[in-house]
Chains A and B, each alone.
Chain A
Amino acid sequence: MSKSYLEAGETHCAIGHPKSVFWQWMLTIDHKRIGLMYAAVIFTFFFVAVFVALTMRIELFAPGAQILDGDTFNQAFTLHGVIMIFLFIIPGVPAVFGNIVMPLMIGAKDVSFPRLNWFTFWLYIFGALIALSSLWTGEGFADTGWTFYAPYSLNTNTNVITTLVAAFVLGMASILTGLNFLVTIHRLRAPGMDFFKMPLFVWGIYATAWIQLLATPVVGITLVLAILEKVFGIGIFDPSKGGDPVLFEHLFWIYSHPAVYLMILPAFGIMSEIIPTFSRREVFGYRTIALSSASIAGIGYLVWGHHLFTSGMSDLAKTIFSFLTFFVAIPTGIKFYDWVATMYKGQIHMTTPMLWALGTMVTFVIGGLTGVTIAMIGADIHLQDTYYTVAHFHYAMLGGVVFLLFAGLHYWFPLMFGRMYNEKHAKRAFWFNFIGFNMLWFPMFIAGYLGMPRRYFDYLPEFQIYHQISFFGALVFITGLIYMFTVLISAIKKGEKVGPNHWNATTLEWHLPSAPPPLENHSKVPYVDFRPYEYHHGDPVVKFNYETMQRID
C-alpha cells in the first residue's frame, strides 16, 4: 500500500525539502495539493461573495434605501462580481479539477511545468490580495461593476486602478494555467492515448486552455489602457479627450465573452464524465461531444458584439453578431441530446453526483435557452440590462458552471480524500440548493421582462413581489450551500474509508493503487489502447493490476 499524497512529507517542493508540514503545503508543486489549495481559497471567496449578494437581496426586499445607500450598493455589486468572476469562476473548474484530475486522467505524473503551476497559484493569491486590499485603501472599493465600463471607470474616485491591476495579475495567472495545461495535454498523455481516446473532461480543459491563452491578453491590454488613461489621460476611451467609450466595451467583451465559454466548457466536461459512469454504459456520440467543445470555443471568439446591441453599434454589425451567436446554441444543444441519449438503455444509479448533473441539465437548459432569447436583436433591445439578463447569466453560470463544479466535487471526493460523505445528507442538500436556486432566480425573468433594470438599489413598488420571492429563495439556497459544505467538510476527516474506484468508473483517474492517490500517481505509466468509457453489461471492461498497470481483463 503506497502512501497518500496528503500525508506529511509526501510532496515535492518548489524550493528545498522543508520539514514543517505547513511549508510543505506552501511550497508544494504536486498538482493534487495545488488543486486542493485552489479549492480551499476559491470556495472561501465564493462564500464571501454569496454573503455580499445576500446583503444586496436584503436591501432589495422593499423599495427605498434600508441598509445600504446607493454608493455602498454599487460597491457591493462590484465586489460580488469581481470576486465571483475573477477570483471564483474563472479559476473555478480548471484550477481545481484541471489540476487534481486532468493529469490523472491522461496517466501523467504531474503537469508539464510543476514549478510554474506553483508560481501560478501564488500569483493568483497575490492578485486576490491586491483586489481585496482596495477594500481598505484609497477611496474605497471600485463602484464600476465588474465590467469597468468607460468613461464611468475613468471618472469615478473609487479605487478602480487597484482592482484593474488585480484583474490584470489574475489574468496572467489564468494565461499561465492555460499554457501549462495545453503543454501537459499535448506532451504527457499516456502512450497510446490519442486525442479521441482522451476522457471528455480533458477535452473541456483543452478547449478552455486555448481560450485562456489567446483571449486573456486582450483584456490584459484593455485593462492596461484603462490604467494609462486614468493615470496619464491618454484619451483612448474618454470622449472628453477624443476617445471612444464604446471601444472599451468591444475590447472588454472580446475577452469576456469567450471567458464564459472558458468557464462552462470544463464544467460540461464534468457532466460528460458523470453521465456515462452512472448510466453504466459508453457515452453516446463521443466525437460530437468532444468536437462541439472545440467548436464552441472557436465560435465563441466571434460573438462578443451581442453584448452591444443597445450601445449604438451599427445595425449591420448587430445583425452579423446575432447571426453568429445562434451558432453557439447548436453544438451546445447537441451535447445535451448526446447526454440524454447516453442514459438510454443504461442503468441509472441516482447517486449525489448524478443528481447534481441531472439537476444542472434542467437549470442549464433554462440558462441556455434564455440566452437564445437575448441573442434575438429585437428581444435584446427590450431585455438588455434588465433582470432578465441577470437571471439568464446566473442560470448559466451558477446553474451551469457552479452546479457542475459541485457535481464534480461530489464525484471526485472519494478520489481526493479516500473517504465518502453521507449521501443521504448530500442529496438533501442538493434539493435545498436546487429549489432555492430556482426560487431565487426564476422570478427575475419575469421582473426583467416587465422592465426592472439591473443594478438598481431602489426600485418602483411594482416590482416588489419579485424581489421578495427572490429573497426567500436566497435564504433556502444559502441554507443548502451551508448544508452541503458541512456534509463534505465533515467527511474529509470522518467519512467512511473507500477504495480507489468507489463509483465503478472507467477512466484512468480511478485506476490508482490507493485512495487517496500516492504522490506520483499511477505506479507505472499505463498503455492506453481503449476508449475512455468502455462498459460491458454495466461493468468496466478494462481492468488493471494497479501495481504493474498491466491490463488483466
Chain B
Amino acid sequence: MLEGFKSQAATFAADVDQALYINLIFSIILAFSVIGPMLYFAWKYRASNVKKEDIENVVHHTGLEITWTLIPTIMMFVLFYYGYTSMRALRTMPDAKNAITINVEGSKWKWRYEYPANANGFVHKVGGAYTKPTMDGHGNVVKNGTMGKSALYVPVGTNIILDMTAPLGDVIHSFYIPAFRMKEDVVPGRITKQWFNATKVGEYDIECAEYCGTDHSYMFSRLVVMPKDKYEAWFNSNADTPKGNYANSGDAVLQRHGCKSCHSIDTDKVLFGPSLKTRRLTKEQVLDVIKNGQNKLGYAMGAMPSGLATGADAEKIAEYVANGMTGTKPASFATCAGCHGEDGKGQYGTAPSLVTYDVDLLRNVLKHGKKGMMGTMPQFPYVTEKEVSAIAEYLNK
C-alpha cells in the first residue's frame, strides 16, 4: 500500500471513501440479488429434479417487475447523490485569498512547482525528474528508484490551490495523489485547477495517471506535508529545499536529481554522459551546464538537458564536481576543456590529448573537424586566428 494511503490525509478523502463504501454495499446487495436467485434456481430446478409437467411458463409479474425496476433506480439516485457530493468536496475551490496558489507544470516526464514570491521577492522553483531504479545486466532491480526530493512542499492544514498546465508542444498528463483520492488532467495550453487541504504531516506519492509516453511509469513526484512553522521558515528563505531531513549532501543531491543515471562519479567509465570524475570543471561551468544544458559539442549521446537542478542543489552539485585547477588559460578554452579536459591532456573515452598539437594542426582541426576513434570533433570555424595561437601557446606550455 502506498505511504499514507490509509490515513485519508486530505479533508475530502473521507468523502470519497464514504461514497465508495456506500457503492460497495449497494453493489454487493445488487450482485447477490441477481447471483443468489440464479444459483438457487439452477440448483432447485435442475433437470433431474423437475418433471416436465411441473414446468410453468411464468412470463409476467407486475409487482416483481416494478420492484426490481424501482428499488435499483432509487439506489442509483442515491449513488449519483454521493458521487455528486464527493465531487463538490473535491472540486469546490477555496477562496484564493485564504490559500496558497502553486503553479504546477507537468512535462515529459517530470513535475515542477513554482511558488508565489516570498517576502524577499524570491520565487521557489522546485521539482524535477524521478530517479529510476538501478538494474543489473539481467534487468533485476538492484536499488529501487526514489521519489527523490523533487517534492512539492506544503504546510499542513492549509488550503493549497494547484494551477496546473503543461507546456505547448507537450502532451496531456494527470496529477494524481492516491492518498488524497484526487486527480485532474494537466493539459497543454490551458490551466486546470485542483485544491487540497492536507490534514496530516507526512510524505505522499504523486503519480502521472494520463498516459504520456516512454517514461510515463516514472513520472512520479512526492508531496511533503510539513508543520506550518517549518514551512514558513523555508518559504521565507532562499534555500531551494527545506532544511533538516529534507536537505542532503552533494552526493545525495546528485543521486536524487538523477545525475548518476548518465554520469559516473566514481570511475572513468563513460555512461550516457562523460564521467564527472575525470571531467575537471569549475563550479561556474558546472552551474552553467546544469542551468543551460549542454549541446555545444553535439555528443553522440545527445544533449545534456537544462535545469536538472536549481538553486542550492545546483550550487552543491557544482561544488562537489568541481576540481580546483591551476594555471591561466584563455576563456575560449572552456569549450575545448569540455572534451579534452581542463589540462588539455584528453579524457578517457571522450577526446584525445592535445599536448602535442601545433598551431597549424589545431587551426585545421578547428576549421574542418576531425574524425577520430572516439567520435567526431565538431568544427569551430568561428575561432579567430588570435585565439588559435593563444590555445596553441597554452597547450605547448
Instruction: Please list the residues of chain A having a beta carbon within 8 angstroms of any beta carbon in chain B.
Output: 62-67, 70-71, 74, 143, 145, 149, 151-152, 155-156, 239-240, 244-246, 279-286, 288, 310-312, 315, 318-319, 322-323, 326-327, 329-330, 333-334, 336-337, 340-341, 343-350, 358, 361-362, 365-366, 369-370, 372-373, 375-382, 384-386, 449-451, 453-462, 535-539
Contact = CB atoms under 8 A, between A and B. Distances in A.
B251 to A, nearest CB: 23
Give the interface centre of A310, A345, A377, A378 by most chain B CB atoms within 10 Å. Answer: A378
A318 B139 CA distance: 43
B360 interface: no
Given A152-B171, A347-B47, A460-B2, A378 B90 contact: yes
A156 B188 CA distance: 15
B117 to A, nearest CB: 27
B262 interface: no
B381 interface: no
Contact of B87 (A345, A361, A378): A378
Contact of A538 (B35, B55, B176): B55
B125 interface: no
Given A315-B91, A451-B178, A239 B188 contact: yes
Interface string B82-108: 111111111100000000000000000
Give the interface centre of A319, A344, A362, A453 by most chain B CB atoms within 10 Å. Answer: A453
Contacts of A326: 76-77, 79-80
A385 B172 CA distance: 13
Given A152-B172, A285-B60, 20 more contacts: A65-B139, A66-B139, A71-B214, A239-B189, A240-B169, A280-B55, A281-B58, A284-B58, A312-B187, A312-B192, A326-B76, A343-B42, A346-B50, A365-B34, A378-B83, A385-B176, A450-B5, A456-B216, A460-B205, A535-B55
B37 A347 contact: no
Contacts of B178: 382, 450-451
A343 B41 contact: yes
A160 to B, nearest CB: 13
A461 B144 contact: yes
B79 A376 contact: yes
Nearest to A453: B209
B59 A240 contact: no
A526 to B, nearest CB: 22
B173 to A, nearest CB: 10
B202 to A, nearest CB: 15
Contact of A378 (B89, B168, B192): B89
Contacts of A62: 141
A74 B216 CA distance: 9
B303 interface: no
B247 interface: no
A307 B339 CA distance: 52
A453 B177 CA distance: 11
B58 A341 contact: yes
Contacts of B181: 381-382
Contacts of A330: 69, 72-73, 76
Contacts of B170: 151
Nearest to B175: A310
A501 B371 CA distance: 81
B205 A451 contact: yes
Nearest to A240: B168
A298 B258 CA distance: 53
B56 A372 contact: no
Nearest to B24: A373
11 contacts: A70-B214, A151-B169, A151-B188, A245-B188, A312-B185, A334-B69, A343-B45, A375-B79, A382-B178, A451-B2, A453-B176
Given A348-B47, A350-B46, A453-B209, A70 B215 contact: yes
Nearest to A65: B139
B24 to A, nearest CB: 8
A334 B33 CA distance: 12
B133 A458 contact: yes
Contacts of A382: 16, 20, 178, 181-183
B226 to A, nearest CB: 22
Given A373-B27, A450-B2, A455 B42 contact: no
Contacts of B90: 378, 381
Given A340-B38, A345-B54, A384 B209 contact: yes
B5 A318 contact: no
Give the 9 A-B CB pairs with smallest separation, nearest first: A378-B86, A451-B178, A376-B83, A239-B189, A377-B87, A343-B41, A240-B168, A64-B141, A382-B181
Contacts of B229: none
B353 interface: no
Given A283-B59, A538-B52, A369 B31 contact: yes
B41 A348 contact: yes
Contacts of B64: 337, 341
Given A310-B183, A310-B184, A310-B185, A385 B174 contact: yes
Give the interface centre of A318, A330, A460, A537 by most chain B CB atoms within 10 Å. Answer: A460
B89 A343 contact: no
Nearest to B140: A64
